């Protein structure tokens, strides 16, 4: 379990190293994740992999919250009709397609 946590910390370290080299840190994290994951390296403990679903949900919530907090209210008001169309129309078409 402790070794798995250290491997996950390594993922963040590699991400920051890639950022300092001028690339997006997510690329470094993904590369380490592929190497450590269950398909290639099988380094992580199975209990960590079992709890990964809950961790993914939390990660998506944090990403969406950061994205929402980063919105500029004035620009959103200026682009309100476009934002409504981009948010409402795809959901409407999907609901209609599912209903059929």
Tens of pLDDT, residues 23-61:
888 888 788 778 777 666 666 667 776 777 787 888 888
pLDDT the model gives residue 25: 82
pLDDT the model gives residue 36: 73
* Domains in the chain: boundaries: 1-51
Mean per-residue pLDDT over the chain, rounded:
81
Please, which pLDDT band fits residue 94 given cuts at 50, 70 and 90?
A: very high
pLDDT the model gives residue 75: 85
Q: What is the DSSP letter of 64?
A: H
Q: Are 7 and 44 in contact (CB under 8 A)?
A: yes
pLDDT the model gives residue 1: 66
Residues contacting 44, CB < 8 A, separation 6+: 4, 7, 8, 36, 37, 38
């Amino acid at each position: 379990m402790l070794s798995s946590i250290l491997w996950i910390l390594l993922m963040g370290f590699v991400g920051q190293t890639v950022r300092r080299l001028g690339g997006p840190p997510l690329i470094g994290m993904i590369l380490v994740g592929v190497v450590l994951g269950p398909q290639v390296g099988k380094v992580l403990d199975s209990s960590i992999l079992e709890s990964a679903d809950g961790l993914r949900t939390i990660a998506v919530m944090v990403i969406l919250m950061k994205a929402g907090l980063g919105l500029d209210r004035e620009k959103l008001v200026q682009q309100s009709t476009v934002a409504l169309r981009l948010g409402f129309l795809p959901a409407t078409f999907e609901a209609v397609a599912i209903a059929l």
